[in-house]
């Protein structure tokens, strides 16, 4: 049930014609309390969509009554009209729920640079229909309504002693740190205050969504929102809550990776024995963004030379002639020299694992990415047509 797995939440997903397919395209998630705790993290892209600009302000007080999400239009670079549309979306939801518009968060996803009176009317109609159709088992419908090029919804739930964390996500391309082309809503019935929610969410995002780098492209609309109702009456310790939240975020990040547009391989890049964690992340990300390496994986070629060439572009501390590389369990390079024959590496499974040992320290990090395929190029060559 994703976002309605936790007590105190209702949700809905409705179709109002934003998508040409006629599928659900507006989702509403409402926190019925008793707490209305909220935290969010946003894209670090300087080019931000109107809903991001709104939500960044609205969540500053650590309170949110509800969140409205639409697919079928990003409402980005749509000028004053677009920001007014976001404002009216929040106002309409607030009016129907009997709360302040400043406590309504808004998210949008879809094509950049489109938006007119018809778009606005459909979004507002979706708010009305969504709120009228709210239910405690509406999480599944909501997770379907936020999909764009996704082939399947992404949902995750973690239950502990008397309390639950549940979440939904959308995203299938432009997956890069800060955050990805994704919308994520996470709910919990645990008793947490705004400071605890914010700290836990930032930690969880750092070790999940910010380690997902499918194609090196960063979106304008990324938002991860956490809402806490406190309906369970249970106040978990900070470490326990952070662990459950991180598990949900990591599951959703892996589901995003596995549904990346056109991908035929899900690549996990483990970097070990780095001087610092930042070094490990930088090295892993350099490989995740290397198109030559990603194309080689697509072609079934264990070209480890491209791994070394990629990590050599970083500022991380290591000796490039003292690095080991494994591909799917086979050490193909040791101390900067060939090791096992390439034909021992089987790249036919979808799950692909690359291990890079920098021999420079005790830090590590894992980066998730995908291969570069014909289907990815085809799908993104005509996205707006």
* Residue 316: predicted pLDDT: 98
Residue 275: per-residue pLDDT: 98
Q: What is the mean pLDDT of residues 295-315?
A: 96
Domain boundaries, the chain: 2-258, 266-381
d(CA 372, CA 385) in angstroms, rounded, equals 22
Q: Which of 148, 181, 352, 373 is catalytic?
A: 181
Least confident of 91-100, 117-126, 146-155, 180-189: 180-189
Report the 10 Å Cβ neighbour count for 380.
16
Do you find a cis peptide bond into 34, omega within 30 degrees of 0?
Answer: yes
Tokens of 263: 């991908």
Mean pLDDT of 46-57: 95
Token couple for 328:
């799917």
191/183 Cα distance (integer angstroms):
24
Q: Can you tell me the mean pLDDT for 249-261?
A: 91
Give yes or no for residue 385 having a pLDDT over 80: no
CATH H-level superfamily of 266-381: ArgJ beta chain, C-terminal domain (3.10.20.340)
Q: What is the pLDDT of residue 181?
A: 59
**What is the average per-residue pLDDT within 216-227?**
88
Q: What is the mean pLDDT of residues 308-332?
A: 97
The answer to whether residue 115 scores a pLDDT higher than 90 is no
Question: Average pLDDT of 279-283?
Answer: 97
For 333-343, the pLDDT digits (tens) are 999 899 999 99
* pLDDT tens by residue, 69-114: 999 999 999 999 999 999 999 999 999 999 999 999 999 998 888 8
Instruction: Single out the residue of 268, 273, 269 nearest to residue 323, CA to CA.
Output: 273
What is the tens place of the pLDDT at every residue in 118-128?
999 999 999 99
Residue 383 has pLDDT above 90, yes or no: no
Structurally, at CATH architecture level, domain 2-258 sits in: 4-Layer Sandwich (3.60)
pTM of the model: 0.92
Q: Does the annotation count 314 as an active-site position? A: no
Tell me the pLDDT band of 173, cut-offs 50, 70 and 90.
low
Q: What's the pLDDT band for 384 if we cut at 50, 70, 90?
A: low
pLDDT at 177 over 50: no
Q: What is the pLDDT of residue 180?
A: 46
| pLDDT tens digits, one per residue of 15-46 | 999 998 899 999 999 999 999 999 999 998 88
- Phi, psi (deg, nearest 5) at residue 165: -125, 130
Tell me the CB-side half-sphere exposure of residue 385, using CA atoms within 13 A. 5
Angle CA(64)–CA(66)–CA(70) in degrees, nearest 5? 125
| Whether the predicted pLDDT of 58 surpasses 90 | yes
Question: Is the pLDDT confidence value at 179 over 70?
Answer: no
């Amino acid at each position: 049930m994703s976002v309605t797995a936790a007590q105190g939440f209702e949700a809905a997903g409705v179709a109002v014609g934003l998508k040409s397919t006629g599928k659900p395209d507006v989702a509403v998630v409402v926190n019925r309390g008793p707490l209305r705790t909220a935290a969010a993290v946003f894209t670090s892209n300087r080019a931000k969509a109107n809903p991001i600009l709104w939500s960044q302000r609205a969540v500053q007080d650590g309170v949110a009554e509800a969140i409205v999400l639409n697919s079928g239009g990003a409402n980005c670079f749509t000028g004053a009209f677009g920001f007014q549309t976001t404002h009216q979306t929040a106002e309409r939801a607030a009016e129907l729920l009997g709360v302040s518009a400043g406590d309504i968060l808004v998210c949008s996803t879809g094509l950049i640079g489109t938006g007119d009176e018809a778009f606005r009317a459909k979004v507002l109609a979706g708010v009305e229909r969504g709120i009228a159709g709210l239910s405690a088992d509406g999480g599944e419908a909501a997770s379907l309504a936020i999909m764009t090029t996704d082939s399947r919804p992404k949902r995750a739930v973690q239950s502990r002693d008397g309390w639950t964390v549940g979440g939904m996500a959308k995203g299938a391309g432009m997956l890069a740190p800060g955050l990805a082309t994704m919308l994520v809503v996470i709910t919990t019935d645990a008793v947490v205050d705004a400071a605890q929610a914010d700290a836990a969410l930032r930690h969880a995002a750092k070790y999940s969504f910010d380690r997902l780098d499918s194609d090196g492209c960063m979106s304008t609309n990324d938002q991860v929102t956490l809402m806490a109702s406190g309906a369970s009456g249970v106040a978990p310790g900070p470490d326990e809550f952070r662990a459950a939240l991180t598990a949900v975020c990591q599951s959703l990040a892996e589901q995003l990776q596995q549904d990346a547009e056109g991908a035929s391989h899900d690549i996990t890049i483990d970097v070990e024995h780095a001087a610092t964690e930042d070094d490990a992340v930088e090295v892993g990300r350099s490989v995740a963004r290397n198109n030559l390496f990603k194309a080689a994986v697509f072609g079934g070629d264990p070209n480890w030379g491209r791994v070394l060439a990629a990590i050599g572009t970083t500022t991380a501390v290591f000796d490039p002639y003292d690095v080991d590389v494994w591909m799917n369990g086979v050490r193909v390079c040791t101390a900067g020299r060939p090791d096992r024959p390439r034909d021992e590496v089987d790249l036919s499974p979808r799950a692909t694992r690359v291990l890079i040992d920098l021999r420079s320290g005790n830090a590590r990090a894992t980066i998730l990415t995908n291969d570069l395929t014909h289907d990815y190029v085809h799908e993104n060559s005509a996205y707006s047509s």
